[in-house]
């Protein structure tokens, strides 16, 4: 009886269509081209990428976001010739890749110059604090002497002289706070206080962005999420009231962000953006790059290219000391496109706006593209400043920014595919590790394995649905004394041999 039932089951399983190859789970992305970077940055980015064997786009977007912070509020971009639409340079970069993709080493290699600038600022601040303490001690000594002299003058009825004596002493001014450029983990309140102190922008560096993004998705952190959304604009005013700190008004709320994230942790965040948690946060990560993983590795042990490293660092020092003055109203200067650059920008803007209004794009992709003009304007202005242009943004810088727009769009399409195609990735992983599963098996038995990206019932079910659809599995409802259970049977060609189990 048992054998008859088993034979019938085998026949049902093998009635399915022979397995079909699983589709590619990710859209293709173009290769990074060195010419997309200003020449002074190019050689060091490629040198680092070769030595640590990471995709060069990881280094490129990290460097650009750090440099954007140095420019900060010193100059702005007006993409139209007459309109007052103004762009403040703010760039959010995310490096997507597996744990072995070398995301963190890439970020670390790009930040050495800004770390040196910060370290020098701390040393100068410490010298200033030491000198201030000495001046305060002398001030206290002088204060006692002045008080005695004023007292004697007052005793003689020389009140005017006594008042003049007291007013002759000025208390030393404390040193300015040490310049800060990098934040790793700061409260909204502390970040706001720092923003009010400097003309440049702060940059948040996170080895793993998933923690920050998950935190911002929590309902109790809605105010902090609103703060980050404003920080992308670069010129918004943000006010918060806290017991203890009182009211702090941030006149120019701006933050750059750089961080890495694993594809498996990105998928639920993108899925959240497709649902109720869609206020444009994920779309603000305009410098999102998700390159193909490197399939080869070799031992490389050589010194960094000293000339390339020096040229790279000099760009940081030059932008750090950049002074462009203010206009007649005391505001930072605003640059516009040259005539030929303006034509390029108008043509591109027309194309994406027509496409976004056509209804042929997914809502997420449309929202992402409609935020891209700010990114293109920011990149064009940044390239113009790096190349030493004066007062306007030329055709070369604009064309380079538009090349980035095409490149980043392809990566954005891969980014948003994480929500719709994550089941294919999970299906491939289950198929690869099928020897570790019994036949038949249940959803729970896959979830208990804790495999990457398959740690929830929803993720496992999505992956199994793909395998059923493509003929690798048969889904069977098995009657029980209670609620029927769902078992998954491998097609006969893929039944695991259970060796080692």
State the average pLDDT over residues 343-366.
93
Rounded-to-integer distance, Cα 194 and Cα 270, Å: 31
Strand partners, 253: 236
CATH architecture designation of domain 37-421: 3-Layer(aba) Sandwich (3.40)
- Which ranges of 357-492 would DSSP assign to H, the alpha helix? 363-370, 372-386, 395-432, 443-447, 457-469
Rounded-to-integer distance, Cα 60 and Cα 63, Å: 5
Q: What would the DSSP string read from start to end of 230-265?
A: HHHHSSEEEEEEETTTEEEEEEEE-EEEEEEE-HHH
Residue 5 has pLDDT above 70, yes or no: no
Of residues 139 and 71, the one with the higher pLDDT is 71
Lowest mean pLDDT among 155-169, 241-255, 441-455: 241-255
pLDDT for the residue 8: 44
Encode pLDDT of 14-64 as tens digits.
455 678 888 776 889 999 999 999 999 999 999 999 999 999 999 999 999
Rounded-to-integer distance, Cα 345 and Cα 483, Å: 62
Residue 140 has pLDDT above 70, yes or no: yes
Encode pLDDT of 380-414 as tens digits.
999 999 999 999 999 999 999 999 999 999 999 99
> 433-494 sits in which CATH class?
mainly alpha
pLDDT for the residue 500: 34
Under 8 Å between Cβ of 244 and 295: no
Gyration radius of the chain's alpha carbons: 30
pLDDT for the residue 276: 53
Other Cβ atoms within 10 Å of 269 Cβ, number: 21
Task: Identify the three-state secondary structure at position 332.
Answer: coil
Of residues 323 and 194, the one with the higher pLDDT is 323
Residues carrying CATH 1.10.10, the chain: 433-494
| pLDDT band per the 50, 70, 90 thresholds, residue 265 | confident
Assigned token pair, 131 = 């000198």
Task: Identify the three-state secondary structure at position 195.
Answer: helix
Other Cβ atoms within 10 Å of 417 Cβ, number: 20
Rounded-to-integer distance, Cα 92 and Cα 284, Å: 7
pLDDT for the residue 501: 36
Under 8 Å between Cβ of 270 and 205: no
Under 8 Å between Cβ of 114 and 64: no
Q: What distance separates the 2 farthest-apart alpha carbons in the chain?
A: 124
| pLDDT band per the 50, 70, 90 thresholds, residue 244 | low
Residue 311 has pLDDT above 90, yes or no: yes
Encode pLDDT of 475-497 as tens digits.
998 888 888 899 999 987 777 76
Mean of all residue pLDDT scores within the chain:
88
**CB contact set of 319 (below 8 Å; sequence gap of 6+):** 67, 70, 71, 385, 386
pLDDT for the residue 24: 73
Chain length of the chain: 501
Assigned token pair, 215 = 């935190």
Residue 162 has pLDDT above 70, yes or no: yes
Rounded-to-integer distance, Cα 118 and Cα 120, Å: 5
Residue 290 has pLDDT above 90, yes or no: yes
| Residue 76 CA to its chain's centroid (Å) | 21
Other Cβ atoms within 10 Å of 158 Cβ, number: 14
pLDDT for the residue 456: 83
pLDDT for the residue 17: 61
Residue 106 has pLDDT above 60, yes or no: yes
Residues carrying CATH 3.40.50.300, the chain: 37-421
pLDDT for the residue 32: 96
State the average pLDDT over residues 191-219.
85
Residue 10 has pLDDT above 80, yes or no: no
Encode pLDDT of 210-236 as tens digits.
888 888 888 788 888 888 898 998 887
pLDDT for the residue 1: 42
DSSP-assigned letter for residue 87: B
pLDDT for the residue 4: 45
Residue 3 has pLDDT above 60, yes or no: no
Encode pLDDT of 414-463 as tens digits.
998 876 676 888 899 999 999 999 999 999 999 999 888 788 888 898 88
């Amino acid at each position: 009886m048992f054998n008859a039932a088993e034979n019938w089951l085998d026949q049902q399983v093998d009635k399915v269509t022979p397995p079909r190859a699983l589709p590619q789970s990710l859209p293709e992305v173009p290769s990074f081209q060195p010419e997309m970077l200003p020449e002074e940055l190019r050689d060091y980015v490629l040198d680092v990428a070769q030595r640590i064997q990471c995709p060069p786009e990881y280094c490129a977007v990290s460097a650009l976001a750090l440099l954007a912070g140095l420019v900060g509020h010193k100059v702005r971009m007006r993409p139209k010739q007459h309109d007052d639409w103004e762009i403040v340079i703010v760039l959010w970069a995310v490096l997507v890749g597996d744990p072995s993709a070398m995301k963190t080493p890439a970020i670390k290699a790009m930040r050495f110059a800004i770390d040196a600038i910060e370290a020098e600022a701390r040393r100068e601040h410490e010298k200033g604090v030491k000198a201030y303490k000495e001046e305060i001690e002398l001030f206290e000594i002088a204060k006692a002497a002045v008080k005695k002299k004023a007292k004697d003058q007052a005793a003689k009825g020389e009140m005017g002289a006594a008042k003049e004596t007291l007013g002759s002493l000025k208390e030393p001014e404390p040193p300015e706070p040490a310049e800060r450029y990098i934040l790793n983990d700061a409260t909204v309140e502390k970040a706001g206080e720092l923003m009010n102190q400097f003309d440049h922008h702060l940059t948040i560096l996170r080895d793993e962005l998933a923690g920050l993004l998950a935190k911002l998705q929590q309902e109790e952190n809605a105010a902090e999420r609103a703060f980050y959304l404003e920080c992308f604009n670069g010129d918004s005013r943000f006010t918060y009231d806290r017991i203890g700190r009182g009211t702090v008004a941030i006149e120019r709320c701006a933050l750059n962000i750089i961080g890495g994230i694993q594809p498996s942790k990105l998928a639920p965040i993108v899925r959240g953006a497709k649902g109720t948690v869609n206020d444009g946060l994920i779309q603000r990560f305009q410098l999102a790059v998700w390159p193909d993983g490197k399939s080869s590795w070799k031992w490389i042990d050589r010194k960094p290219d000293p000339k390339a490293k020096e040229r790279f660092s000099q760009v940081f020092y030059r932008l750090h000391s950049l002074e462009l003055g203010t206009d007649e109203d005391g505001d930072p200067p605003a640059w516009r496109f040259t005539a030929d650059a303006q034509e390029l920008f108008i043509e591109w803007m027309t194309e994406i706006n027509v496409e976004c209004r056509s209804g042929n794009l997914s809502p997420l992709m449309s929202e992402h593209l409609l935020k891209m003009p700010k990114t293109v304007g920011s990149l064009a202005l940044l390239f113009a400043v790096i190349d030493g242009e004066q007062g306007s943004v030329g055709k070369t810088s604009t064309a380079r920014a538009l090349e980035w727009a095409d490149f980043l769009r392809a990566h954005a399409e891969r980014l948003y595919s994480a929500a719709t195609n994550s089941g294919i990735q999970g299906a491939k992983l289950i198929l690869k590790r099928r020897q570790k599963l019994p036949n038949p098996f249940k959803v729970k038995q896959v979830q208990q394995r804790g495999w990457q990206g398959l740690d929830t019932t929803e993720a496992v079910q999505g992956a199994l649905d793909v395998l059923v659809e493509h003929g690798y599995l048969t889904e069977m409802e098995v009657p029980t004394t209670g609620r029927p259970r769902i078992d998954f049977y491998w097609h006969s060609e893929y039944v695991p041999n259970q060796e080692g189990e």
